[in-house]
Structure 1
Amino acid sequence: MLNIVSNIYEKLAVIRRKLYYKGILKQKKFPVPVISIGNLSVGGTGKTPLTIFTAKKLQEKGYRVCVLSRGYRRKSRGTVVVSDGNSIFVPWEEAGDEPYLMAKNNIPVVVSHSRYEAGIKALNSFPVDVFLLDDGFQHFQLYRDLDILVVDATKPFWEDKPLPAGRLREPAEFYRYADVIVVNRLNRAKNPEKVLEFLKNSEKQLFISEEKIENITDLKKNKNINFLKGKEVGAFSGLGNNGQFFQTVKDLSHKIGFTVSQFISFPDHYSYKKLNLPKKQLWLTTEKDIIKISQKQIEKDNIFALKYSLNLPEDFVQYLENIINAERLKKD
């Protein structure tokens, strides 16, 4: 039964994309370049860390960047300016957890069900040189100058099926619509050589990221990751892929030398209005999770978040700059 529903879902996804690419349904355009960062599957490929990395690197190069996001599961309605890069104007509940985390990194963010309306709001609120379209691979209403597809090497999309039998939003072969592929977690893949072989044969511009975890934070202060050495630690998260975070904690426990006594899994985008943790010496979670927990509870339960980030080669940033500058010349 699931396979039948998946076949129907797949055909509808094919029709939807073709309607836009053939111009039957029109795409709206902005006067500044738009770079989409998305994926083929639901949950947990590393889009948010890549968006933060890309935004901050472009900011360092002098570009005024703004992220446009849906703001999944936010409690606000309409179009909301989360941050102008200097100030955050709404709590995480009204922004959505991922846009709020981006805003905490001093990145301008606007959320709306319509990314076009979000962009218009941004252009009328502060200067913008380039938009980053968060989770935009299936958001066809807005024209993109560059499509970046994020791939989790531990879960190759070409081995998966469309929803609901699998986790794919579109057929696996739709990776061909991407301009750039960024591979995350290659070092954790069971067969990294086969992953690279497939992606290199795609003839897409390919970049491989590296994970960086050097610190933990309780939102008031950062500590070096070696603070965990010799301690008993519990871990919890509410992500699209909790297993990835738990594996990260396990790997760190071997590397740093601490004991993991318990893992607690919450649903994706969990609000943490009720959090009753068993008493442990220390708890680890993610930055996406800890921003939703009160400072009082963080201090009571001794909760820290791993400061997780991605790093990509300078060639990646240079590639984006070349695209941005070329598109700006066209639009001028």
Structure 2
Amino acid sequence: MTWWQLILFPFALIYDLITRFRNHLFNIKQRTSIKFEANVIGVGNLEVGGTGKSPMIDFLIQYFLSKNREIATLSRGYGRKTRGFRLGSSSDTAATLGDEPMIYQKKYKDQILVAVAEARAIGIPYLLAHNNDIDVILLDDAYQHRSVEPSLSILLSTYKNPFFDDFLLPTGRLREARQGARRADIICFTKAPVDMSDEEQKQMIARTRSYHPNAPIFFTHIAYAPLISFGTAKAKQKVIGIGGIADNQVFESYLNSNFEVVEFYKFTDHHDYKADEINKIVEVMAHHEAMLVTTEKDFIKLGDFKNLRTKSCFYLPIEIKFIGDQSNFLKLIDDAMKKYPKY
């Protein structure tokens, strides 16, 4: 621990007591956790953001679409300016739906249902009432949302900052104690190096076993697809990077390795971009004769600025790739879905 972590440690102990007591109430059935008669897959983490939940949800969407399933996603819709249950439509924006749900809405349109609700236990019945033919509901960032008990729970943690090395808020980045990993049906370490060795995997699995004795454990790495344009001008050699996500490190590193980056602007997760910020960036682009490259999540907001649409602007789609055989992971998904005859 660093000196500042030691100073904050007493507050982490208080936070630990509060979260443990809350979880205990659910464990002894003093607080209600609803299990719906539907295939509900929860994807979440113990840490505060940046573990790759959205790419995992996107991976599952594509998998279920390949099997011709009726899919719905349900999340809180963090950062939106609306409240209550809301079903996504072509007229929505990040302000009405939230950043991540808007990615799914824009990308898949009427291929899936995208919904947001602060209370997932209320959102799920609304979804099923809207479309009783839904095969699977994907819950985004719902690991601590214990009012709903998913039929399958996938816990994500990053290779670089695994939950078993982290500490509770505010000393570290954990939302609850490491022991919370026991609720997971599958554990996946994300953002691992492509060439991660078998020995290193075994070491991480062994350390995870202290917190979950038998959950299947997988490792994934990030892969980037080709650039997609959202401006009318052609690509240029130099790049201005913009990242407003929880962990900009992998994105920035990829740009530096593949482009001539002259500036990189880091913003906080779910940043609400202002016109004066964009105007300044446009001036820098003109000065360096550079194109803008951003994340798919940031594109959801940046694409609304008219002065960017006439410039050389691109976003970089992200996807996950399994290290090793992903068929074992998909078999677990398929087996879990067989709990309900509709699947």
Aligned residue number for residue 318 of structure 2: 308
CA distance in 2, matches of 1:250, 1:157: 28
Q: Measure how far apart 1:117 and its partner are.
A: 1.5
Code of the residue aligned with 2:243 in structure 1: it is S
What is the 5 A alignment of 1:79-94?
A: 79-83=85-89, 88-94=90-96
Q: How far apart are the structure 2 equivalents of 1:115 and 1:9? A: 24
SS in 1 for 2:142: coil
Q: How far does residue 54 in structure 1 lie from its aligned partner after superposition?
A: 0.6
SS of 1:25's equivalent in the other structure is: coil
Residues 55-114 of structure 1 deviation map (CA, whole Å, 9 limit, x = unaligned): 22012112211111000010011110014xxxx342221100011102223132110111
Q: How far apart, CA to CA, are the structure 2 residues paired with 1:63 and 1:220?
A: 34
CA separation in 2, counterparts of 1:301 and 1:238? 20
TM-score normalized with structure 2 length = 0.85
Match in the other structure for 2:269: 268
For residue 173 of structure 2, give the secondary structure of its aligned residue in structure 1: coil
1:215-254 equivalent positions in 2, closer than 5 A: 215-219=226-230, 231-251=237-257, 253=258
| Aligned match of 1:110 | 115
Task: Give the Å deviation of 1:137.
Answer: 0.8
Out of 134-143 and 151-160, give the one that drifted further. 151-160
Give the share of equivalent positions with the same residue, in percent. Answer: 30
Displacement, 1:188? 7.0
Which of 52, 66, 70 does residue 58 from structure 2 map onto? 52
Pair 218,42 (structure 1): closer, same or farther in 2 beyond 3 Å:
same
| Superposed structure 1 runs of 4+ greater than 4 Å apart | 188-196
Does residue 101 (structure 1) correspond to residue 103 (structure 2)? The answer is: yes
Query: Does the C-alpha gap of structure 1 residues 328 and 160 become closer, same or farther in structure 2, counting only changes over 3 Å?
Result: same
Quick one: which amino acid aligns to residue 113 of structure 2?
P
Question: For 1:189 and 1:15, how far apart are their aligned partners in 2?
Answer: 41
1:210 aligned partner, one-letter code: H
Question: What is the TM-score with the length of structure 1 in the denominator?
Answer: 0.88
Deviates more, 1:26-35 or 1:137-146: 26-35
Letter matched to residue 285 of structure 1: T
Q: Counterpart in 2 of 1:164?
A: 170
Q: Distance in 2 between matches of 1:192 and 1:11?
A: 37
| Residue 244 of structure 1, CA deviation | 2.9
Structure 1: state its 5+ residue gaps: none
1:1-332 equivalence runs, <5 A: 1-83=7-89, 88-106=90-108, 107-126=112-131, 127-187=133-193, 193-194=199-200, 196-200=202-206, 202=209, 203-219=214-230, 231-251=237-257, 253=258, 258-274=259-275, 275=278, 276-277=280-281, 278-279=284-285, 280=288, 281-293=290-302, 294=304, 296-312=306-322, 313-325=326-338, 327-329=339-341
Would you say how many aligned residue pairs link Structure 1 and Structure 2? 315
Conservation of the 8 A alpha-carbon contact between 2:77 and 2:101: yes
Runs of 5+ unmatched residues, structure 2: 1-6
More moved, 273-282 vs 260-269: 273-282
